[in-house]
Structure 1
Amino acid sequence: MSTSKSDEWPEVGELVISTVNEITEYGAYVTLDEYGKDGFLHISEISSGWIRNIRDHIREGEKLVLKILRVNPEKNQIDLSLRRVTQREKREKVMLWKRSRKAESLLRSASQKLGMSLDELYDKVGGVLEKSFSDIYEGLETAARDGVDALLKVGVPKNIAETLTEIAKERIKLSVVKVRGILNLTCTKPDGILKIKESLLKAKESSLTRGSNIKIYVIASPKYQIEVTAKDYKEANAILSRVAKTAMETITKLGGQGSFETQSGK
């Protein structure tokens, strides 16, 4: 890939992951991990409060999320700030950085299996994945969840797509969420039980999407618990709503009645 941008310069206001190399009386010299360049963190930009001892706030070898204040390529100078980084910015930057490192590790494994360098592989698929997904790691997560077609349809060459998918499936632990709801279905007709089963089956089959799972449990007639597992709450709740809507519409058409209530949780 590489994740290093040694031929580029960061922009003012950008958040960067930096390693503290040397602490002095006036601040600290750091290395910008993503750029392979050195910068300076002045003591006045470490904390908004009074600093008695810099080492009470930072230490050598520590990784920090810093904000770019000034950049001067001609003087090879980068000034940074710690105190201007909010906790939210810090969390988001660390998360993105970790995802980037995971993506690089997966691409490195794939490049070795394909017999090419990491940079060669990145040149072939990096831009495609970054354009088609929020980042490279999301593309690999999608491949792990949905299979090789997720990469093929965005233009990744077949041999590379197959290798990336294989490695992604082996090494990415997909996060899933669960949501639940209670369906009340009744039908007083002689074959009412069969009509309820038909309604539940149709609701399940018509609402299932790739990467999701739907389970239906009998609590005690006429209550049925619907449990949906999906990659995130937005998708899970959407599926749960479709299941409930389809089941109620179907049982109504078959001469019964239905109602639905979500259970506590997202």
Structure 2
Amino acid sequence: MKYSGWPDPGELVVGKIDEIEDFGVFVDLEEYEDKRGLIHISEVASGWIKNVRDHVSEGQIVVCKVLDVDESSQQIDLSLKDVNDHQRSEKIQQWKNEQKADNWMELAFGEDVTGEQYGAIANELLAEHGSLYDGFKQAAIHGEDALERTDLDDEEIEAIVDTARENVSVPYVNVTGYVDLENPAESGVDGVREALQAAEGNGNVPDEVDLEVSYVGAPEYRIEVQAPNYKTAESELEASADRAVAAIEDQGGDGEYHRERRTDDE
């Protein structure tokens, strides 16, 4: 996504070096539509510079600090030397993340999405989460809840959530569900124990998934899953509950899966 406005002084921007002159370097801004900035030779590097080309080259991607913006003269003054290594690395990663999010928007809404629709959806994600990437990331983790305060319609929300869950990888996602296990049959407590062992996967849970079953209060048990992404976490949670319910029913008992903890008066 490219912004139609102007960068602000002090902002870090990503650009591609387009032209090198003795007095400085012209940079096409990658995040802004039809915007070009100038790095004066004194802002390319610290100290005396004999040859600008010893420090930069055409086509190079750089991170610059915006020094000044003069919209009337269409001029943006930039600095390369005022950006440290940490800022450069962080900004480049942020820019790459936004490029990923651009691709996800295309996956979610198709190549034929109009500029107007794209802009409207993007603005909602930006307003709620600060960036397209973070909007998709939160949708992967929290589903529709991450977008409930936006003005997006149900179809748009569904498209974003589905795409996010298919494509966004987050460090870890935690999900929790509950299963009620009752066994009036002769197997009694032993039958419940077998159902809990089935819920834990009997050693067959994927290595990247941490699954734990704990006692809440008869007949309720909590299933907690930690996984690399939302889709895997939800899948493993439901599979665990299904195993427990099937096992207790095989014992002649009853089982029921639910996402919220029961209260005493339910």
Q: Which category of TM-score, normalised to the shorter sequence, fits these structures?
A: 0.5 to 0.7
What's the TM-score once normalised by structure 1's chain length? Answer: 0.61
Structure 2 partner of 1:121: 118
Q: CA deviation at 1:152?
A: 4.1
Q: Tell me, yes or no, if the aligned pair for 1:152 and 1:158 is still in contact at 8 Å.
A: no
Q: Does 1:175 align with 2:171?
A: yes
Unaligned regions of 5+ residues in structure 1, if any?
179-193, 205-211, 218-226, 233-266
In 2 relative to 1, CA 121–38 (structure 1 residues): closer, same or farther, beyond 3 Å?
A: closer
- 5 Å-filtered alignment, 1:54-133, equals 54-112=52-110, 116-123=113-120, 125-133=121-129
Q: Does 1:9 align with 2:15?
A: no
Which residue of the other structure, out of 30, 33, 45, is the alignment partner of 1:33?
30
Q: Tell me, yes or no, if the aligned pair for 1:144 and 1:169 is still in contact at 8 Å.
A: yes
Total equivalences in the alignment: 190
Structure 2 partner of 1:136: 132
Amino acid at match of 1:129: L
Instruction: Please identify, of 128-137 and 73-82, the stretch whose mean Cα deviation from structure 2 is larger.
Output: 128-137
CA distance in 2, matches of 1:15, 1:109: 28
Structure 2 partner of 1:188: none
CA distance in 2, matches of 1:60, 1:153: 44
Deviations, residues 17-70 of structure 1 (Å, cap 9, x unaligned): 111011112221111122221221111111112323322211100011001112
Structure 2 partner of 1:185: none
- 5 Å-filtered alignment, 1:151-230, equals 151-152=147-148, 154-176=150-172, 214-215=210-211, 229=226
CA distance in 2, matches of 1:106, 1:34: 17
Identity, % of aligned positions:
34
CA distance in 1, matches of 2:58, 2:228: 39
Q: Does 1:50 align with 2:48?
A: yes
